Structure 1
Amino acid sequence: MNGLRIKFLRGEEVKYISHLDLMKVFERALRRARLPVAYSQGFNPHPEMIFGLPLSVGVTSEAEYADFGLEGNVSPADFMRRLNAQLPAGLKVLEAKKKFAKDNIMASITMASYRITVSAEGHFDREFLQEKINDFIERPTIIVKKETKSKVRDVDIKPMIHQLCLGDSEEGTFTVNSLLSAGSSANLKPELLYDAFADTFGPGIKLKAIHRTGLFVSRNGVMVDPMDDRVLEGTNPKR
């Protein structure tokens, strides 16, 4: 069966809808666009679509992905055009490509990047901010309390933080850019990261916004964009 992968953005207008509601929005848009998407068998058929790492409610993104099974012929450009015409404000397909690899997007994701925007009361110059970030990341362990379905347990999140650096800063606001483990084997939510480093700065800071800037898959030890042709074809890039 033919397959297709899209990259789409999720803006302010839809940041408070759940992942389940997002899937319903896409299902309605696919139906209205009359795209030749494959459907599951049974009494309650659903379109064959798989999304990447679910986004937390309240978080925006410029790098969301979804895979679709197709029953008919449609070019990636036509698929994107027709789907965009039916999606609401705040959702826009940025790119579409044919997919031949068997791996689906949800099972493939291993890392995610985020921009965390923080409001700050008082005087926080760049030197102070950088020093605090360095102090945080240089800890031997970073223990947080993580809730599971059955209990709350202590988890060391330091191995899941691959990059953490100061971004833009101005009076009253600064950003922190991060690259975190993501996916089924290890997953660190940016909200949990913020809770962990907020104590480092002391009183006077508040979470303002979180924006996902990227999702990545690992191929042959290399971090690769999910829309890379080698990923979609099922081949491995060289180191």
Structure 2
Amino acid sequence: MVNIRVKFRRGEEVKFISHLDLMKVFERAIRRARLPIAYSQGFNPHPGMVFGLPLSVGVTSEAEYGDFEITDDSLSMNEFIERLNEQLPQGLEVLAAKQRQTKQNIMATISASEYVVMIGTGHECTEKSLKAGIGKYLSQKEIIVKKKTKSGVKDTDIRNMIFDLDFGLQPCGTFNMIKLTMLVSAGSKANLKPELLVESLFEMLGAGYEIDRIHRSKLYVKVQEELLDPMDGKVL
């Protein structure tokens, strides 16, 4: 049995499929590619694959990860990538694959995520005013938002879930488009969606806004207080 971790991208063509549909797409692609995937035991066997932090519908990504169990240890990583990519639809592409030794799967280890969010405001926004606004936002000791949980909507302090927040301005017609790059907590213990951060930021700024697009650029695993790429040798 060989455990493989893959990194793949999810483009505009498939950004509206759900996480469940994504799993079905990969399952079909693996079957068509005749890859030697391992299956669970029991009445209803499932393929041995686990994906990282589910991506919200409508969000693109260049940093998605999945763990696969295969039964043929002679299969090279390059062949695995090529055969799988031939069967995946446009917009899904495996970028890299490595063998892993750790027993912890990708879903259990994700700790942080980086997003790039493009935002339109409909009014003039300068670098100076935005820098001051974000500085004020991050200087708050607590940032209370309404967050959906399994037990309902609760007031939640997200300040400690924001690790970094940077910005840029891009010309777009009459006004500038705001580009926010955020590093936030992610995973099963504490997960902050970028939409919630944007909502709380612009509520404090007292400005209207419209999210144009959200792109996940990185996922991280925390190892001894260090944030590492899930494909890093220290993680695998």
TM-score class normalised by the smaller sequence:
over 0.9
Paired residues for 1:217-236 under 5 Å: 217-232=221-236
Paired residues for 1:191-210 under 5 Å: 191-210=195-214
Distance between the aligned counterparts of 2:26 and 2:35, measured in 1? 12
What is the Cα deviation at residue 43 of structure 1?
A: 2.1
The total of aligned residue pairs comes to 232
What is the Cα deviation at residue 184 of structure 1?
A: 1.3
Paired residues for 1:1-239 under 5 Å: 1-73=1-73, 74-170=75-171, 171-232=175-236
Partner secondary structure for residue 145 of structure 2: strand
Given that 2:118 and 2:213 are in contact with CA atoms closer than 8 Å, whether structure 1 keeps it comes out as yes
Given that 2:2 and 2:70 are in contact with CA atoms closer than 8 Å, whether structure 1 keeps it comes out as yes
Q: Which moved more, 1:88-97 or 1:170-179?
A: 170-179
Distance between the aligned counterparts of 1:194 and 1:89, measured in 2? 30
Gaps of 5+ in 1: 233-239
Q: TM-score scaled to structure 2, two decimals?
A: 0.95
What is the Cα deviation at residue 168 of structure 1?
A: 4.2
Given that 1:115 and 1:175 are in contact with CA atoms closer than 8 Å, whether structure 2 keeps it comes out as yes
Runs of 4+ in 1 over 6 A off after TM superposition: none
Given that 2:8 and 2:94 are in contact with CA atoms closer than 8 Å, whether structure 1 keeps it comes out as yes
Write out per-residue CA displacement over residues 214-235 of structure 1, whole angstroms, 9 at most, x where no aligned residue.
Answer: 0000112211100012211xxx
Given that 1:126 and 1:169 are in contact with CA atoms closer than 8 Å, whether structure 2 keeps it comes out as no
Name the % identity. 53
What is the Cα deviation at residue 57 of structure 1?
A: 0.7
Q: TM-score scaled to structure 1, two decimals?
A: 0.94
What is the Cα deviation at residue 205 of structure 1?
A: 1.9
What is the Cα deviation at residue 91 of structure 1?
A: 0.4
Distance between the aligned counterparts of 2:169 and 2:4, measured in 1? 36
Partner secondary structure for residue 85 of structure 1: helix
Distance between the aligned counterparts of 2:168 and 2:24, measured in 1? 35
What is the Cα deviation at residue 9 of structure 1?
A: 0.4
Distance between the aligned counterparts of 1:153 and 1:225, measured in 2? 32
Partner secondary structure for residue 77 of structure 1: helix
Distance between the aligned counterparts of 1:79 and 1:167, measured in 2? 39
The one-letter code of the counterpart of 1:63 is: A
Given that 1:112 and 1:179 are in contact with CA atoms closer than 8 Å, whether structure 2 keeps it comes out as yes
Distance between the aligned counterparts of 1:103 and 1:122, measured in 2? 47
Given that 2:127 and 2:168 are in contact with CA atoms closer than 8 Å, whether structure 1 keeps it comes out as no
Write out per-residue CA displacement over residues 187-227 of structure 1, whole angstroms, 9 at most, x where no aligned residue.
Answer: 11111111111213333421111110100001122111000
**What is the RMSD of the two structures over their aligned residues, measured on CA atoms?**
1.1
The one-letter code of the counterpart of 2:44 is: N
What is the Cα deviation at residue 27 of structure 1?
A: 0.2
The one-letter code of the counterpart of 1:173 is: M
Distance between the aligned counterparts of 2:224 and 2:59, measured in 1? 30
Distance between the aligned counterparts of 1:79 and 1:219, measured in 2? 28
Partner secondary structure for residue 231 of structure 1: coil
Gaps of 5+ in 2: none
The one-letter code of the counterpart of 1:53 is: L
Partner secondary structure for residue 183 of structure 1: coil
Partner secondary structure for residue 234 of structure 2: helix
